[in-house]
Chains A and B, each alone.
Chain A
Amino acid sequence: MRACAIAEAAGVRALAVVSSGFVGQARALARSLGIAGVWVSEYPGVIPIDPSDVLEQKVRAVLVPSLVAGLAARRDHGPPARPEPDLRSVAFAGTLDEVQDHFVDQGWSDGLPVVPPTLDRVRRFLEFTDRDPDEVLGVLRPGEREASVWTVAANGVMAGCRPEYMPVLVAVTEAVADPEFAVEDAGSTPGWEPLVILSGGLAKELGFNVGAGVMRVGRRANSTVGRFVRLLLRNVADLRIPPGDTDKASIGYSFNVALAEDDAVIDELGWEPFRVDRGFRRDQDVITVQSVVAISPPIYSSGARALDHMETIAYLLGTTCGPWSFTGVWFGRWHPLLVLGPAVARALAGDGWGKDDIRRYLFENVVLPARWFDRYARDVISSDVSLRDLVEKGEAPRRYAESEDPERLVPLLLREEWTGIVVAGDPGRNQSRAYINNHRQGAPVSKPVVLPRRWEELRGASG
C-alpha cells in the first residue's frame, strides 16, 4: 500500500492486489496513508497453497474482473477524515470497569487491565522529562500517527509504569520511531515482537531484574516497559490483531519483558557492556530495541573449556535460526542476540575468551545446508529466490554459492559484529538463550536515556 500511496501522490491511479486474508489490512492501511479511495482487488485464497492451474483460474475468473472494475471506477475519496481531538481533552469518564470496557471498544487496550490515563497521572510522568509534551518523537507507521512525549506518557501510565521510567520510555519510543527499526513492518506475518534491552547503571536504580527469570513477567520495571512497547505499537503505530485489521501476525506471541544487562558480572569479567558494543560510553544508560521472531530452547552448556560451551551454543543458536535465515541473506540483515548466563560467561572468560571471540566462533560455525535456504524461500514467499541468484546479483557474498552441492554448508550469520551478547540470567545455573531478530524488520536501534535535570530531586520526592 505504501507503493500505492507513492503512485497516487505522483498523480498515477493505483490498484492494489492482495489475497483474501489481507483485504482488511489493505483498506486500513489505505485509510492511514490518506488513500482511502484506492481500489483493492482480491485474490481469493492463500497463494502459497494454490497450484499453478488453480492460480490461473482464480486470476482469470476473479482478480481480473475486479481490476477491470477498478480501472473504470469513478474515484471515491472514501469517508472524510474525522477531525483529530485535542490530546489533552477528556476522552471518557467512568468507573474503572467502564474505562476498561471503553478502551477495549476503542481498540486502545491490549486486553489486560490498563491503568486509567488521567490528566494527573500523565502529568506526573511528564515531570520526569525535560522534553516538551507536544514534541513529536516520530511518526509511527503504518498508522501514520505522531508519537508525542504526551502520548508516550499516556501509554506509559496505561502499561503500569512508574513515572520515573519516563526517560526510558522516551528513549524506547525514539528507537521505535527510527527508520532503521522499520516499525511499519511490525505487523508482518512472522509475528515478531520488539525486545527492549537496557544497559547501564539505571537498570539497578530503577529496579530492573537482571538475574533469574530475567525474561519473565514478575518485576514491575521489566514487565511494564515491555508492555508499554506493545501499547505504543497499538495506539500510535495502529497495529491491532482482530477485531483490528493491521497486525497480521499469523500466530505471534506475547510482548517481551524488557531485558536488563547484569553490569556487575560484566565489570567482574572485564568485558565491555552491551552499550559499549553498541557504540556508546560505559557511563551512559542506553536503550536498544530490536525484533525477536524466534527464541531458542534453553541452552545448557558445561565444562571449563570455552569450546565445550561454544559448540553447544552455536548448534542451538543455529538450529533456532534454521531455514528462516534465508531472509537474512535476502534482506542483508541478521542480528541474533545471545543472552549469556553469568556462570557460562565466567567459564568463557576463565578460558581467556571475550565477546569478540564468541562472535567470531559463532560466525564461523553456525551453518546450515544450502538446500534449506532455497527451499524455504518457496515455502514462505512462493518465489524461487536461490542463493546463487543472490550471489550473482551481488546481494550475497560469494561463499554462499561456492558449489552447486545442495548439502554444502553455508553460514547463517552475515557479519561477526552483528551478533549481540548480553550477560543476564540466573548466576546459579549454566543456561543461556538465543533471541533471533527478523532480518531488517526490527533491526537493532540504540538510543541514550536522557535524565531530566531535576532527576535526583524528583527521585527523592518519589521515594
Chain B
Amino acid sequence: MDEGGVNEPHYSVVRPVGRWAATPVQAPATVPRRIGFVWDHVFRGDEMFAIAQEELSARDPRLAFVPYQAFGDIHGRAAAHAAASLPARLRAEEVDAVIVGVGA
C-alpha cells in the first residue's frame, strides 16, 4: 500500500472556532480629572492603589480620587452585582477614568 505521495487523501476542512460576538467599544479620550480605583480585592491592590494615589497626587494636585470601596468587589461572591451596578456607580461618582486591578 502506498503510504504517501500522490495517492494520499486530501481533506477540505472547516474552521472549528465560533463567530466573534462582542462589539468594540472605547471611551472618549478626555483628560482625566477624577480617577476611581476598582479592585477585585486580591493581590494587594489596596496597597498599590494607596501608593499610586500618593504618587499621582504629587504629580498633579488637581486630580481627585474615588476609593475602591465605592465600586464594590468585582471578584468575590457579589461580583455579578458589582459588575451590574458599576456603570451607575461610575456615573454617581463622576469619574472620568478608572484604574482596575489586580490581575495576577
Binding site for B on A (CB under 8 A): 1-19, 21-22, 25-26, 32-37, 41, 43, 46-48, 52, 55-56, 59-60, 63-64, 67-68, 71-72, 74-75, 77, 81, 84-85, 87-96, 99, 106, 108, 116-119, 122, 136, 139-140, 143-148, 151, 154-155, 158, 231, 235-236, 238, 330-333, 381-383, 395, 440
Q: Are A34 and B77 in contact (CB under 8 A)?
A: no
Closest B-chain residue to A122, C-beta based? B14
In the complex, the chain B residue whose C-beta lies closest to that of A95 is B8
Max chain A C-beta neighbours (<10 A), residue from B24, B29, B35, B95: B24
Please report the number of residue pairs spanning A and B whose Cβ atoms sit closer than 8 angstroms.
244
- B1-57 with Cβ < 8 A to chain A: 8-32, 35-36, 38, 40-45, 47-48, 51-52, 55-56
C-alpha gap A383/B44 in the complex (Å): 6
Q: How far is the CB of A320 from chain B (nearest CB, A)?
A: 23
Question: Closest approach, in angstroms, between the C-beta of A392 and any C-beta of chain B?
Answer: 15
Closest residue to A106 on the B side, CB-wise? B15
Instruction: Contact check, A16 vs B100: say whether CB atoms are below 8 A apart.
Output: yes
CB-CB under 8 A from A231, the residues of chain B are 16
Counting chain A CB atoms within 10 Å of each CB, the highest count among B26, B47, B86 belongs to B26
Contact present for A383 and B41 (CB under 8 Å): yes
Nearest B residue to A6 by beta-carbon distance? B86
A395 nearest in chain B by CB position: B77
Whether B41 pairs with A144 at a CB distance below 8 angstroms is no
Q: How far is the CA of A33 from the CA of B20 in the complex (A)?
A: 10
Distance between A56 CB and nearest chain B CB, rounded to angstroms: 6
Interchain CB contact under 8 A, B24 and A108? no
Question: Quick one: which of A10, A15, A26, A85 contacts B87, CB cutoff 8 A?
Answer: A10
Residues of B near A56 (CB, < 8 A) are: 47, 51
Q: Please, what's the 1-or-0 string for B79-98, where 1 marks a CB less than 8 Å from any CB in chain A?
A: 00001001100110001111
12 further contact pairs, Cβ within 8 A, besides A13-B29, A381-B43: A3-B86, A7-B86, A12-B90, A13-B30, A16-B100, A17-B102, A43-B48, A93-B10, A108-B16, A117-B13, A148-B19, A383-B42
Show 29 residue pairs from A and B whose CB-CB distance is below 8 angstroms, ordered by the A residue: A3-B100, A4-B100, A7-B87, A9-B25, A10-B90, A13-B32, A14-B27, A15-B98, A18-B101, A18-B103, A25-B103, A41-B99, A43-B104, A47-B43, A59-B55, A75-B26, A90-B12, A93-B12, A95-B9, A96-B11, A99-B11, A99-B13, A108-B15, A145-B20, A146-B19, A146-B21, A235-B17, A330-B76, A383-B43
Q: How far is the CA of A326 from the CA of B58 in the complex (A)?
A: 39
User: By the criterion CB–CB under 8 Å, are B52 and A67 in contact?
Assistant: yes
Q: Which residues of B contact A87 (CB under 8 A)?
A: 14-15, 19
